[in-house]
Amino acid sequence: MFIHRQPVGEEASKLAEVLGFKRNCEIAIQRLGHMLRLIRERVENIQTDILVLYEKAIATCEERNFTSSSDPSILTPILDAIYNKHHGG
């Protein structure tokens, strides 16, 4: 039922419910947008960190004149140099 083009009774209750749901959706969308921005920033930081470590590994290999080797222990001095002896190996 409508009085002066305004919903009354059950219609008003349904309208309030729909508007509340709409507002909750808007808030959730804003939060998701914020989280996506944070995730993008973190991914960019991780990519930068990986690139820096990669460049350090290449520089260390070139510096020490390492050639390809089947011996996995050859990586220990490289990792030590890159991680300042904190690589966990």
Per cent of the chain over pLDDT 90 is 30
Please report whether residue 69 resides in a domain.
Answer: yes
Please report whether residue 88 resides in a domain.
Answer: no
What global pTM score does this model have?
Answer: 0.52
Please report whether residue 37 resides in a domain.
Answer: yes
7 beta partners: 2
Over residues 16-35, the mean pLDDT reads: 92
Q: Nearest 10 degrees: CA dihedral of 13, 16, 20, 25?
A: 100
Taking only the tens place, the pLDDT of each residue in 5-15 is 666 677 777 87
Count of domains observed in the chain: 1
Give 42's pLDDT tier (boundaries 50, 70, 90).
Answer: very high
Give 32's pLDDT tier (boundaries 50, 70, 90).
Answer: very high
Indicate the length of the chain as a whole number: 89
Mean of the per-residue pLDDT values of the chain: 79
Range of the domain at 68: 2-82
